[in-house]
Amino acid sequence: MANTDIEARKQELLNQGYTEVYTKTKVLTDAVMHYCPGCGHGTTHRLIAEVIDEMGIQDKTVGVSPVGCSVLAYNYFDVDFQEAAHGRAPALATAIKRLNPDTFVFTYQGDGDLAAIGTAETIHACNRGENITMIFVNNGIYGMTGGQMAPTTLIGMKSATTPYGRRVDLNGYPLRITELISTLPGTYYVTRQSVQNPAAVRKAKAAIRKAFENQKLKKGLSFVEILSNCNSGWKMTPVQANKWMEDNMMPNYPIGDIKVDGKLVENVDVNRLAVDHPLTVMQ
């Protein structure tokens, strides 16, 4: 439906006495998202767009999209955008911000992009304390290429390249890159959130807002991990996938702040890994 049609239909409904409860954020474009229904990318996009809108920084924001499911993120955000080679978004963002210190720069990456092929760029951008916002969507799998093992795939979890489940002796451990970068002095704010229910969405939005506010205050690097399901890659319905994520991803990737205002949060053990956690059955 064209934009004008949408506006006309909306007006018609309002005239009939309906109340507007939900509307598209102006920082998102009218392009129809290609994400699978139920996937966390769409919600995460919306939260970032809302924050940009609410902070009034649309004209100063430059985003960097990865290679992976969110490669086309530039089509959905109505801000200037660069599309990076696989894993290199933090390098692009480093230069964008250093050459244009008045802009707000954010990267948007998945687990394969940020924690496998782009590990070096991730760690060094974090370690330099670049004054940028990094958004990391972790669904434990390579979604776009068809569900292969990611660095964050859980032990025992099935994927196209671990058809009998991930084995430590063969594939090593799931990489908790968020905990890892939290130990670097260059990171100022490190948190893990999720978007599977309204309460989680509200917390995730607050985290993204904080990450952008930190950039405004020139505090250094803010890093927000968003746990997401990959219902098509996991071969589940969206509802099952969210349940599975809560039961299996969250024990390994606990939700909450890891580092706030440059200080590790008390009682957060960044070395902890739930290796003994038995997976609930995957379909």
Answer for which of 9, 10, 24, 98 binds another protein (CB under 8 A) is 98
Contacts of 128 (CB under 8 A, 6+ apart): 94, 186
The interface with another protein within residues 12-41 (CB under 8 A) comprises 29
For tokens 């809560």, what's the residue?
Answer: 246
Answer for which of 6, 9, 54, 100 binds another protein (CB under 8 A) is 100
Answer for which of 81, 206, 240, 262 binds another protein (CB under 8 A) is 81
Answer for which of 25, 36, 50, 72 binds another protein (CB under 8 A) is 72
Contacts of 133 (CB under 8 A, 6+ apart): 104, 105, 106, 107, 208, 211, 212, 214, 215, 221, 222, 223, 224
Closer residue to another protein, CB minimum distance, 34 or 243: 34
Answer for which of 49, 84, 155, 221 binds another protein (CB under 8 A) is 84
The interface with another protein within residues 117-156 (CB under 8 A) comprises 120-121, 124
- Smallest distance, Å, CB 51 to another protein? 16
- What's the rounded Cα separation, in Å, for the pair 58 and 104? 9
Question: Would you count residue 10 as binding another protein (CB under 8 A)?
Answer: no
Residue 56 carries which DSSP code?
Answer: T
Instruction: Please give the C-alpha separations between residue 176 and each of 136, 154, 163, in angstroms, as whole numbers.
Output: 12, 11, 22
Q: Is 236 helix (H, G, I), strand (E, B) or coil?
A: coil
Question: Would you count residue 92 as binding another protein (CB under 8 A)?
Answer: yes
Please answer whether residues 249 and 228 qualify as being in contact, where contact means their C-beta atoms are separated by less than 8 angstroms: no
Radius of gyration of the chain measured on its C-alpha atoms: 19
Question: Would you count residue 96 as binding another protein (CB under 8 A)?
Answer: yes
Question: Would you count residue 171 as binding another protein (CB under 8 A)?
Answer: no
- For residue 23, is it left (φ>0), alpha (ψ between -120 and 50) or beta? beta
Closer residue to another protein, CB minimum distance, 39 or 91: 91
Question: Would you count residue 58 as binding another protein (CB under 8 A)?
Answer: yes
Question: Would you count residue 82 as binding another protein (CB under 8 A)?
Answer: yes
Q: How many residues bind another protein (CB under 8 A)?
A: 34
Answer for which of 33, 68, 77, 225 binds another protein (CB under 8 A) is 77
